[in-house]
Amino acid sequence: MKEQRNALSIYVRKANDEKITKRIIESDIFKKANCIFCYCSFDTEINTMDIIKYALQNNKTVCVPKTISNGIMTANIITSLDDLEQGNYGILEPKANCKQIDDIDLCIVPCLAVDRNGNRLGYGGGYYDRFLARTNSKKAVLCYDDRIIDNVFCQQHDIPCDFIFTESQVISI
């Protein structure tokens, strides 16, 4: 799945990412959310920087993942993109002075693929599943249409998402 995503031309990815961004920021769950947790996109992941910028400009509380020891992730508030720095693997993370928060309305998470039940295929580290297990927020995954597959093998600790946002549709689970 990663190889297929990497094979997409930058123009196709950019066009699809813009459609996904528009779809999510116009959604009711995004509009109603006061606090939004969103991953900072890396490499060929669906670009989330415009989602983060839009949320900041619209006075939403925005938090992004920070990886700490033992595979645990926290949600830390940022007030601008200047609050981000390169962390593990070159992924942007909040700086050390950014306050941790637990009261989140909407979590936006990445995937390599997803099934129509909201089960994500991630990168195998379990970071997001451990994090999502600790929150009662709505969970939305961003995915390209062609990355919706019939079945994602799940284990008991895997946390499904409530919504799938693609370039052409929103699937509510």
- Could you tell me which residues come within 8 angstroms of residue 142 by beta carbon, excluding any fewer than 6 positions away? 20, 24, 46, 48, 108, 109, 110, 111, 165, 166
Report the pLDDT value the prediction gives residue 6, as an integer from 0 to 100: 64
Number of domains the chain is built from: 1
One pLDDT digit (tens) per residue for the chain, 173 residues: 666 766 677 788 899 999 999 999 999 999 999 999 999 998 889 999 999 999 999 999 999 999 987 778 999 999 999 999 998 778 999 999 999 999 999 999 999 999 999 999 887 788 899 999 999 999 999 999 999 999 888 777 889 999 999 999 999 99
- Could you tell me which residues come within 8 angstroms of residue 85 by beta carbon, excluding any fewer than 6 positions away? 92, 93, 94, 95
Please list the helix, strand and coil fractions of the chain in percent, rounded to the nearest 5, in that order: 30, 30, 40
User: In angstroms, rounded to a whole number, what is the distance separating the alpha carbons of residues 124 and 112?
Assistant: 10
Report the pLDDT value the prediction gives residue 12, as an integer from 0 to 100: 83
Query: What CATH number is given to the structural domain containing 133?
Result: 3.40.50.10420
User: Which amino acid would we find at residue 155?
Assistant: Q
DSSP 5-68: HHHS-HHHHHHHHHHHHHHHHTSHHHHH-SEEEE----TTSPP-HHHHHHHHHTT-EEEEEEEE
Report the pLDDT value the prediction gives residue 88, as an integer from 0 to 100: 76
User: In angstroms, rounded to a whole number, what is the distance separating the alpha carbons of residues 95 and 87?
Assistant: 9
Report the pLDDT value the prediction gives residue 79, as an integer from 0 to 100: 97
Q: Which domain holds residue 22?
A: 2-172
User: In angstroms, rounded to a whole number, what is the distance separating the alpha carbons of residues 106 and 34?
Assistant: 8
